[in-house]
Amino acid sequence: MSRKKPLQITNGDTPVHTDLPQVDDFDDAHDGDEIGPGLEPLTLRLDDEVIGQRLDKVLSGLLPEFSRSRIQQWIEDGHVTVNGAPAKAKMTMLGDELVEVAPQSVPSDQPYGPEPMALDILHEDKALIVLNKPAGLVVHPAAGNWSGTLLNGLLHHCPALAQVPRAGIVHRLDKDTSGIMVVAKTLAAQTDLVRQLQARSMKRQYLALVWGLPQLSGTINAPMARHPRDRIKMAVSQSMRAKPAVTHYRRLATGEIDRKPVSLIHCRLETGRTHQIRVHLQSLGFPLVGDALYGKHHLVSVFPRQALLAGRLGLLHPSTGKFRQWAAPLPEDIVALLQRAGIDPALAVIPEMSDEPDEVISDDDFDDDY
């Protein structure tokens, strides 16, 4: 949209002139805002160029440093006025209005801080930390979980991680998945580990308890993409946006819960798509026990989380180049679940891995890794 004259914006006591930029019709999917120092109030005098436009659309064009979704939240929370009266996002501008905006900080604008936390560390040296993440612990701060995350605990355990991107975290586990993770203590080690994920020299294997009786072994080669209707979920997909996803599985034991068959499964990934094991097994008709997102909703009460353990991790040590691997012990809740199913927990074993890298099927094999 062209302009005939500039709009005047006042930042505190300092007037700033700006031309109205082209305004897009989409809402931001997330907030990636850069907040100016001080969060000073802003006063804007509109003109006839904005006649007929919604207030939130006008403001997102005038204040590109803030996302449209954040501006809408400020309006809803009463931090925007038009001619001195509380504003509404959908109100239509008539021109010559005086708009006052009081920018608000949000938790994502603040530096992540260290927080005391008991960490189950399996190995630590100058280059890396290998730890056993418990179920219920969020890995990285995000909406709804700005504190109490693994990242906060890592910063307390090793303050030097503040100098490494994402406190050295190179891959994630879902909040309700337990098991092994590796954290780099230096930028060089982090770069090396990320490259290993791409080169397939880092290996991660899992144990899962599923409903049903899958065949003894198999390979699921099914591309995945974001679910077309539920943006929280992933799905097997043949769309143009789908990415390759390959899971090898082997049945270790069978049992019953409430007279319904269950199977203990060992999974080995060739790729690391978000929710890959959960989606792939569900696509065959064998959802994870306790999986509220992809599982059988009438059976969710059987177990309070998805029955999934990141059981073994293998990698080339960034400092020595030698292959190392670690195994996570079975958590108590998984042991109790297996016993309830009549499965001997001693059968839940992932054999040691070879140091040979797996075949690379894509140069973008990991969605859940940083």
Q: Which residues contact 127 (CB under 8 A, 6 or more apart)?
A: 184, 185, 186, 189, 317, 318, 319
pTM of this structure: 0.70
Rounded CA-CA distance 183/176 in Å is 19
Neighbouring C-alpha atoms within 13 Å toward the C-beta of 294: 27
- pLDDT value of position 61: 87
User: Is 361 a residue whose pLDDT tops 80?
Assistant: no
pLDDT digits (tens, 9 = 90+) for 306-342: 999 999 999 999 999 999 999 999 999 999 999 999 9
Q: Name the DSSP class of 331.
A: P
- pLDDT value of position 143: 73
Query: For 25-29, 216-220, 229-233, 272-276, which range has the lowest pLDDT when averaged over its residues?
Result: 25-29
User: Which residues are designated catalytic?
Assistant: 174
Q: Which residues contact 16 (CB under 8 A, 6 or more apart)?
A: 8, 9, 10
- pLDDT value of position 272: 85
Rounded CA-CA distance 235/296 in Å is 16
The radius of gyration of the chain from alpha carbons, rounded to an integer in Å, stands at 25
- Tokens 């990285």, residue located: 140
pLDDT digits (tens, 9 = 90+) for 103-155: 886 665 556 889 999 999 999 999 999 999 999 999 988 877 888 999 999 99
- pLDDT value of position 367: 59
The sign of the dihedral angle between the CA atoms of 221, 311, 344, 138 is: negative
